[in-house]
């Protein structure tokens, strides 16, 4: 009871002390107490976060086992054999190391190529496997002999097979091409187009002129079958082949240009047709001569394009020149000459030259239908 009374007395004394204390002093005391508490808490936390010190090794602890170095991988027998080969040739140490590294790198490719080696004759699989084993073992002489023999045997058989295949493919392409010709004669361009397309695929390499001819036939058949895009592609292929094979100024190239231009003309693409017609005309003038019937055809084609565009002034002199050439080569009544007279008369009418036009129209209608055989 006395201890309890003493405690109560102490509390009462402290209460009276703080009640009598000025406010500013009370704030200072509280601040000091708070700082002291913070320091104590921080110290306790810092001690708790420290890692325990590692115990010192005692004299009775067993010593750690020594670390053993890994053994290097065994060297490939082929690389070892190659190094020995170089050493036998007295190759210097620096050069030897370089050459061994190069061989090791090349060996990877040789292995892969031998894995891909699949003889055409299955009976030779054993020889191929023996060559692989010889290479891996570093028996280079044996490997070279085996591979040379295998290459000779497979090469001989391959050449025979290739030649036989080329003959089969050539026969197939020609048969398809002639079948297409017959179908065109039978007025079946769609079926003919398929035959010519097959012939293009079957024809062996190194027959560019024949390939250009078949492409041209396919283009004609495709156009008549109503597939102008396929026709354009084939005519362009034919033109490229002929230019590469014959040069850019050959009459066959001029004919190919005319075919392609005619296709563009028929589709109303006069901008693409005109330069092709002009180039064809220039080639034929240079190679055939200014007065050749082929030049007359070129002049007529270009003139009709200008007429279609409404440019009669440009068309008139071309048609007149074409007509003059035809009169030099064709007898009266030849269809080409009659067509030339009518085309020229039509342009003259369009230009308002009616009297001149009547003269040519009359000649076209009164000419006898026959012509001399030599005028073909």
The overall average pLDDT reported for the chain is: 82
- Report the pLDDT value the prediction gives residue 184, as an integer from 0 to 100: 93
Tokens 């003038």 — which residue?
285
Tell which of 104, 130, 159 closes a domain.
159
Which residue, 243, 275, 244, is CA-closest to 256? Answer: 243
Which of 17-31, 64-78, 341-355 reaches the highest mean pLDDT? 341-355
Is the residue at 280 inside a domain?
A: yes
pTM of the predicted structure, to 2 decimals: 0.62
Measured over the CA atoms of residue 97, residue 103, residue 104 and residue 105, the dihedral's sign is positive
Q: Measure the CA–CA gap between 366 and 71, rounded to whole angstroms.
A: 110
| Residue 51 pLDDT greater than 50, yes or no | no
Q: What token pair was written down for 248?
A: 């850019």
Residue 306 backbone zone (phi > 0: left; psi -120 to 50: alpha; other: beta): alpha
Portion of the chain with pLDDT greater than 70, in percent: 77
210 in any annotated domain = no
In this structure, is residue 19 part of a structural domain?
no
pLDDT value at residue 62: 52
Domain end among 139, 159, 179? 159
Range of the domain at 82: 77-159
Say whether both 136 and 252 belong to one domain: no
Binned at pLDDT 50, 70 and 90, residue 64 comes out as: low
Better-scored residue on pLDDT, 240 or 30: 240
Residue 265 resides in a domain: yes
Interval 1-45: pLDDT, tens: 454 555 565 546 556 655 555 555 555 555 545 555 454 545 555
CB atoms within 10 A of CB 323: 21
- What's the confidence (pLDDT) of residue 70? 46
CATH number at residue 365: 1.25.40.10
Number of separate domains in the chain: 2
pLDDT at residue 65 is higher than 70: no
Tens of pLDDT, residues 82-133: 888 888 888 888 888 888 888 888 988 988 998 888 998 898 899 889 989 9
Tens digits of residue pLDDT in 126-164: 988 998 999 888 898 998 999 999 999 999 999 999 989
* pLDDT above 90 coverage of the chain, percent: 44
Q: Which of 98, 133, 159 is the last residue of a domain?
A: 159
């Amino acid at each position: 009871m006395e201890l309890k009374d003493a405690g109560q007395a102490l509390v009462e004394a402290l209460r009276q002390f703080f009640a009598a204390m000025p406010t500013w002093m009370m704030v200072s005391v509280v601040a000091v107490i708070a700082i002291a508490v913070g320091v104590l808490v921080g110290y306790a936390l810092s001690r708790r976060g420290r890692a325990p010190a590692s115990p010192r090794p005692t004299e009775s602890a067993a010593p750690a086992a020594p670390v053993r170095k890994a053994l290097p991988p065994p060297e490939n027998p082929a690389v070892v054999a190659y190094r020995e080969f170089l050493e036998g040739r007295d190759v210097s140490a620096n050069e030897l190391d370089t050459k061994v590294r190069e061989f090791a790198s090349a060996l990877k490719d040789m292995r892969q190529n031998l894995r891909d080696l699949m003889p055409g004759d299955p009976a030779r699989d054993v020889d191929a496997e023996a060559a692989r084993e010889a290479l891996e073992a570093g028996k280079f002489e044996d490997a070279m002999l085996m591979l040379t023999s295998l290459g000779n045997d497979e090469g001989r058989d391959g050449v025979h097979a290739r030649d036989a295949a080329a003959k089969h493919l050539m026969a197939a392409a020609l048969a398809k091409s002639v079948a297409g010709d017959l179908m065109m004669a039978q007025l079946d361009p769609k079926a003919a187009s398929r035959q010519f397309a097959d012939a293009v695929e079957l024809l062996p390499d190194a027959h560019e002129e024949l390939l250009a001819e078949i492409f041209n036939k396919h283009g004609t058949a495709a156009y008549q079958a109503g597939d102008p895009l396929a026709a354009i592609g084939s005519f362009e292929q034919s033109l490229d082949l002929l230019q590469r094979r014959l040069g850019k100024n050959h009459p066959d190239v001029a004919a190919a240009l005319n075919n392609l231009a005619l296709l563009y003309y028929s589709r109303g693409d006069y901008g693409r047709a005109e330069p092709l017609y002009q180039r064809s005309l220039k080639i034929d003038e240079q190679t055939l001569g200014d007065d050749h019937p082929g030049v007359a055809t070129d002049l007529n084609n270009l003139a009709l394009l200008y007429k279609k565009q409404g440019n009669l002034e440009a068309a008139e002199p071309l048609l007149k020149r074409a007509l003059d050439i035809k009169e030099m080569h064709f007898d009266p009544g030849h269809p080409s000459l009659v067509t030339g007279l009518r085309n020229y008369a039509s342009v003259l009418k369009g230009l308002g030259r009616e009297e001149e036009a009547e003269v040519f129209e009359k000649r076209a209608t009164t000419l006898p239908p026959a012509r001399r055989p030599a005028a073909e």
